[in-house]
Chains A and B, each alone.
Chain A
Amino acid sequence: MQTGTNRKKIKFKTGWIGPLLTAGCVLLAMTWFSNALARTGTAPLSTWFVQMDQYAGAAHGTLKCEECHGPMTGNSKSHPDPEAVDFLKTQTKRNFDYKSCKKCHKSAHERFQKGEHATAAVKQRADGKPSKTGFAPTCGDCHSAHYSKSHRTKAVIGKEMTQTCGACHGDQKESYLANYHGKTAVNLGYEKAAFCTDCHGAHTTISLKDQEVVLNACKRCHSDATPEFANIIIHDSTKNPDLKNDIKRSGLKWVHIMAALSLTFVVLVLTFFYMHTGLMILRKLHEKLRRHK
């Protein structure tokens, strides 16, 4: 009698398995598709050979070459001979003077001059010693003069910015993307969350080590922030300890100790109860099968 009711129940259940599996597959397919969409490539960097179709659609597309590069014939420079055998093998090197960006982008250039990238660049060029990732960047290392598009959303710019800054500051990119700011801003396209330049400043690119400077950066969004608020660790990584101030370094140590402790606790509790449950089910199944003999 009891088996009869059980079978009826199971029949009712199997009726739903088909549609549920189909729905699951459709959802999986859609998520796969969205995953593929999410991987957008970055714009190609400027080289000698400008792709005019892309250039025409970019922010500088209305400018004529000579407006930035100067007259070709004016200063005794000669254009490489297109008929030459090794023409396409010519080394594409960038010996463009970015000071001419200043003509239009005055405030950006001023901010850049005040910033840490410019100071580092001057010092490195004078010493002739580049850092691990090369000489400190000027305009063209971050911006593509020929292909950068205008009128893009903050989220799109921010996403690209994370890649651009991350090319040299890889650890910082990683720790930013592990933080709530990076997750919501870059991964989920939430425009109210902070991207790189929202804290470090566009073009000034300051390293936020001094507590007062940090607090100013925090206050752009968190208007009620107190000095202690500035000690919340955003780049939660032990990879570059000398880039952090003393308070954050000692805080970071405790953060990781507590994280390790809580992970241990989780593993211990789960191990005990999983073993308990698994054994108990086996025992009860055993009992039931023995009864049926």
Chain B
Amino acid sequence: MMKTNQNSKETYQRFHVLHRILHIVIIFNFTLLAITGFLLHFSGFGWARFLVSIMGGAAAAGWLHRFCAIFLYCGILVHLSWLFYYKFALKKKLSGPDSMLPKKKDIKDLYQNLRYVFNKGTPPLFDRFSYLQKFDYWSELLGMQSMGITGLMMWFPEFFTRIFPGYFINIAGYFHFYEAVLAVMYIGVVHMSDTHLHPDIFPMEKSIFTGKIEKERFMEDHPGEWERQQMIRTNQTDQ
């Protein structure tokens, strides 16, 4: 990891530019998907009717929803192809302490964190990603698959009723809606609070946009990774 000096504050590179771009793609599409989807669902209310008419009616809002869904899924495909590139072209490991893969340590960290909340111990020493960040990542990656499938079922019911019984389309509708509620209420409250509402970070955590993290935050939030990097650095200077 590169050490860079910016305004006399020591910062470290945390996110690759591709991941920063993909995060913005997700923000943009997720927001538009949530707005258009919930407006269509709650179209019985006057305000929803008004906002849909601004977008150009039910058909336009529906197509905007589908467009954003495809755009978002393209982002996921780019991410997956980057994983292949990372593993097979750059020959780097996808597992290990820096990875997104869930580990036993995450369960331990959760337990330790809950103990810490009730003043029964010290906070856990997170690696590159905390268990909550890993949950964010996996719920996004896997949630998009089921949102995609249920969405496609409602988009092409003629095709999917050739495979499934008819009432599966109704079930898909319920799953799609409840998962949307879950996603919006999770991202809007848990993800936002976890990143931005930390008293030392408030009002805004910018590292996913700038790609840089301050030394202080790095040491406090990701002590596991920090320790390992210090060791690598000392090894390099020894040689």
A interface, CB within 8 angstroms of B? 9-10, 13, 28, 30-32, 34-38, 177, 180, 183-184, 187-190, 192-193, 222, 224-226, 228-233, 236, 247-248, 251-252, 254-255, 258-259, 262-263, 265-266, 269-270, 273-274, 276-277, 279-285, 287-288
Contacts and interface: CB of A to CB of B under 8 A. Distances in A.
Chain A residues touching B, majority SS = helix
A231 B57 contact: no
Contacts of A36: 46
A279 B198 CA distance: 12
Interface string B128-162: 00001000000000000000000000100111011
Interface residues of B, number: 54
Contact of B50 (A31, A282, A283, A285): A31
Interface in B35-52: 40-41, 43-52
Interface stretch (B10-18, B87-95, B165-173, B228-236): B165-173
Given A266-B181, A270-B185, 13 more contacts: A32-B47, A183-B58, A184-B43, A226-B162, A228-B162, A233-B170, A251-B165, A254-B167, A254-B171, A255-B171, A259-B174, A269-B182, A287-B199
B170 A251 contact: yes
Contacts of A35: 45-47, 49-50
A232 B166 contact: yes
Q: Which 5 A-B pairs have the closest CB atoms?
A: A35-B46, A231-B166, A251-B167, A31-B47, A190-B58
A160 to B, nearest CB: 17
Given A254-B167, A258-B175, A229 B45 contact: no
A232 B171 contact: no
A31 B199 contact: no
A124 to B, nearest CB: 33
17 contacts: A28-B47, A34-B53, A35-B47, A183-B43, A184-B58, A187-B44, A189-B58, A232-B166, A251-B167, A251-B170, A252-B167, A254-B171, A265-B182, A266-B182, A276-B114, A280-B117, A284-B200
B178 A263 contact: yes
A259 B47 contact: no
B167 A232 contact: yes
B82 to A, nearest CB: 28
B116 interface: yes
A269 B50 contact: no
Interface stretch (B23-31, B68-76, B101-109, B188-196): B188-196
B117 A281 contact: no
A183 B226 CA distance: 53
A229 B158 CA distance: 6
A190 B49 CA distance: 11
Contacts of A270: 182, 185-186
Contacts of A31: 46-47, 50-51
A189 B44 CA distance: 11
B179 interface: yes
Contacts of A279: 114, 117
Contacts of B43: 183-184, 187-188
Nearest to A254: B167
B112 interface: no
Contact of A277 (B47, B53, B194): B194
Contacts of A247: 166
Contact of A230 (B51, B62, B162, B166): B166
